[in-house]
Structure 1
Amino acid sequence: MTHLKLLSAVAALAIMAGNASAQVKIAQDCPPDPETCGTYVWAHTFAEYLAENGIETEEFERGALGDEAELLDQVSSGLLEVSMSDLRSAGSLAPFIYGMNLPFLFASHAELDEAVERGNLMESINEGLTPNGVRVLALVANGSPAGIFNTKTAVNTIDDLADLRMRALDETQIRMYEAWGSTGTIVAWPEVPSALQTGVADGYLNAPVVPLMFGHDGFLKHFTDVRFSAPVRVALASEDWYQSLSDEERAIVAEGVAVSTAANREWVTGQDKVLEQLEAAGIAVVHLSDEERDRFAEASRPLYEGGLASPEDIAVWLEAAGVN
């Protein structure tokens, strides 16, 4: 975002902050398409539920109020009530939440939801976040289990990654690619199309629906259904806003969260046709064998010893997931 655009966004937020205190501004993170975007489904359902119950809402398109870091600043300072944010926005303040991203720990959102409920993990997530001015309202599915996309070759085995340079989100993901015998390079999401087309990166790890959502299907040619994790983003809320709610308003918000999360999980169960959609878009799909998936999982085990979160935090997630 340019400096001028950032100033405009901040000015707009400052003006809106003078409106009724119950108004909820919601920053979307993807195109307003309920077919391809699960976070849009969550946020739009939430906005409609609040509005129907007397709380004024306004939705902002992806990028209208800034990038991930800027949105986090606005939420934590109370200028923005709710943002559909990446996991790093929460993890940068309290890394406990990173435990859900342990490779091959959760093969579905149902498994993740069961573990979060069993271990009362939402409370643990927010214990570290609320002193920093934010809280997670919900873990929002943004696609079926993640796999490997690339522009060059079919990945049938872990050995096929050797000649690929993968787009990485951060240094931890680079270490994971290295454990798989590949290499990684950090590329900001807006730069991914250029990186893929110029060969700076050969592919990325993401939910199957992502290339269809962002128009990357024109240059990605291969997808391996490795079922790496249950991909989520977070509905991140301002703690100042949350604490300012009356008991009645907080009850409406809680019910809105429940309704929106149910709609989001219904959306993700409907993603069972997405692999067919990838093939129709010209992306060849590899259904990884159980033996090869086990090889990926075993190569990823060093990340269970630290790097994503502290060993103590990881132990909590493993216990909740029923992993010894």
Structure 2
Amino acid sequence: MRKLVSLLLTAALAVMFVLPGAALAQKVIKLHHLNKDDPFDNSTGAMAQVFKSLVEAGTNGKVKVQTFPNSQLGKDNEVLQQVKDNVIQSGIFSVGGFAAMYPPIGVLDIPFAFPNISATYAVLDGPFGQKLSADITKKTGFKVLGFGDSGGFFAFSNSKKPIKTPDDLKGLKIRTMGLETHKRMVSALGGQPVAIAWAEVYTALQTGVADGQMNPIPIIAFAKFDEVQKYLTLSEHIFAPYVWVMNPEFYKSLTPQEMDVVNYAAKSAIVAGRGLARVIEASDRGLPALAKKMEVYALTAEEKAKFREVAVPAVKAYIKEALGPEGEQLMNDFLTAIAESEKAGK
């Protein structure tokens, strides 16, 4: 019995002295994202869980990933500061939240800029995406891990009438993220932009504080807007990516092998998020489900051209006014990258 007690005490002391050192040696990435942690429910959930799995496996557990879903740490603009201060190490942010720290992200809001969804991948993963990442790092200090898919192209929904022409938007109160580029676009089309926090959008649509809103199909579906909106227009007018960043000092604290794992894990996670968004769009959790309760209309190429004629000049003028020559150059680089990707795809 004495031998057994002695062995147990020795083992306990060993744990007391070894575990703290192991705990100190272990690196933890606290990761903020906007939605549920379920990888089959939404894009950020898929991104977070794939990233966690690949990082922890690829580093043999030396780097752990702790996720904070559903914006539990605060609004995007608040959490950005937490990442900057290394309170948390990484976050997947909406462009609306990210614009608070990096206004030039607004150049991505040129309406009807992308010809199709695959062009968004080519542009944001290619030379333009690299240039944008470098500019974000230069102006904010963040390490950019990539640009995710928030659910695809935006669609308009509302409770009043079908939207087939710019005139149909006249007088409608349309909820926006609060981005000035989005406000200018809605105003140019004759609508009345209303900035409402995400947590309050469903109630605002239900009570008539807003007549409509604009978001990708998966977001409209999981937010259950079909319960409070009658009409859905597949306008495909904006693609608003997620911006995924990491605290630069934490990133530099990783070994070269750990950096490599984090980089490829983020890229793989972004691909997973894109794939899930496309699956949800096409499944009974996306457009087919919405079509059971809502009147769905897809704009023709000719109808999109009419929207484009009105909306694009207003947004371009704002970007030139607000961001100056540097912002205008970034906008032109963005549009050139899209044109080049379109040529390469033909």
User: TM-score under structure 1 normalisation?
Assistant: 0.87
CA displacement at 1:181 relative to structure 2: 1.3
Task: Select the residue among 23, 26, 40 that pairs with 2:31.
Answer: 26
Q: Does 1:128 align with 2:128?
A: no
Change in CA separation of 1:20 and 1:101 when aligned onto 2, cut-off 3 Å? farther
8 A Cα contact 1:305 1:311, kept in partner: no
8 A Cα contact 2:206 2:228, kept in partner: yes
CA displacement at 1:207 relative to structure 2: 0.2
CA displacement at 1:290 relative to structure 2: 1.6
What is the alpha-carbon distance in structure 2 between the residues aligned to residue 109 and residue 98 of structure 1? 19
Change in CA separation of 1:107 and 1:128 when aligned onto 2, cut-off 3 Å? same
Code of the residue aligned with 2:93 in structure 1: it is S
Q: Structure 1 residues 268-277 or 256-265, which shifts more?
A: 268-277
CA displacement at 1:253 relative to structure 2: 0.6
Higher helix share: 2
What is the alpha-carbon distance in structure 2 between the residues aligned to residue 61 and residue 265 of structure 1? 18
Match of 1:272 in 2: 282
CA displacement at 1:121 relative to structure 2: 2.6
Code of the residue aligned with 1:279 in structure 2: it is A
Code of the residue aligned with 1:102 in structure 2: it is I
CA displacement at 1:122 relative to structure 2: 2.4
8 A Cα contact 1:207 1:231, kept in partner: no
Question: 2:339 is paired with a residue of what secondary structure?
Answer: coil
Task: Select the residue among 76, 88, 100 that pairs with 2:84.
Answer: 76
How many aligned positions are there? Answer: 306
8 A Cα contact 1:94 1:129, kept in partner: no
What is the alpha-carbon distance in structure 2 between the residues aligned to residue 131 and residue 301 of structure 1? 27
Match of 1:104 in 2: 112
Question: 2:27 is paired with a residue of what secondary structure?
Answer: coil
Match of 2:316 in 1: 304
Please report the RMSD computed on the Cα atoms of aligned residues, expressed in angstroms. 2.2
Deviations 1:262-308 (A, max 9, x none): 2122223322342212113x122111122111111111122123437
Within a 5 Å distance, the mapping from 1:170-319 to structure 2 comes to 170=178, 171-270=180-279, 271-273=281-283, 274-280=286-292, 282-302=293-313, 303-307=315-319, 309=323, 310-319=327-336
Code of the residue aligned with 1:106 in structure 2: it is F
Q: Structure 1 residues 22-31 or 112-121, which shifts more?
A: 112-121
Match of 2:56 in 1: 51
Deviations 1:105-128 (A, max 9, x none): 124442022123443432433333
8 A Cα contact 1:151 1:219, kept in partner: yes
Task: Select the residue among 107, 124, 138 that pairs with 2:146.
Answer: 138
What is the alpha-carbon distance in structure 2 between the residues aligned to residue 129 and residue 181 of structure 1? 37
CA displacement at 1:227 relative to structure 2: 0.8
- Tell me, which stretches of 5 or more residues in structure 2 are unaligned? 1-22
8 A Cα contact 1:31 1:213, kept in partner: no
Deviations 1:167-217 (A, max 9, x none): 122233222111101111111111212211221111111101112222332
Q: Structure 1 residues 271-280 or 42-51, which shifts more?
A: 271-280
Deviations 1:83-126 (A, max 9, x none): 12111343333333322221111244420221234434324333
Q: Does 1:150 align with 2:161?
A: no
What is the alpha-carbon distance in structure 2 between the residues aligned to residue 236 and residue 181 of structure 1? 36
Change in CA separation of 1:312 and 1:25 when aligned onto 2, cut-off 3 Å? same
User: TM-score under structure 2 normalisation?
Assistant: 0.82
What is the alpha-carbon distance in structure 2 between the residues aligned to residue 132 and residue 90 of structure 1? 11
Question: 1:300 is paired with a residue of what secondary structure?
Answer: helix
What is the alpha-carbon distance in structure 2 between the residues aligned to residue 33 and residue 284 of structure 1? 29
8 A Cα contact 2:235 2:299, kept in partner: yes
What is the alpha-carbon distance in structure 2 between the residues aligned to residue 28 and residue 64 of structure 1? 9
Which structure has the greater CA radius of gyration? 2
- Tell me, which stretches of 5 or more residues in structure 1 are unaligned? 1-17
What is the alpha-carbon distance in structure 1 between the residues aligned to residue 24 and residue 305 of structure 2? 54
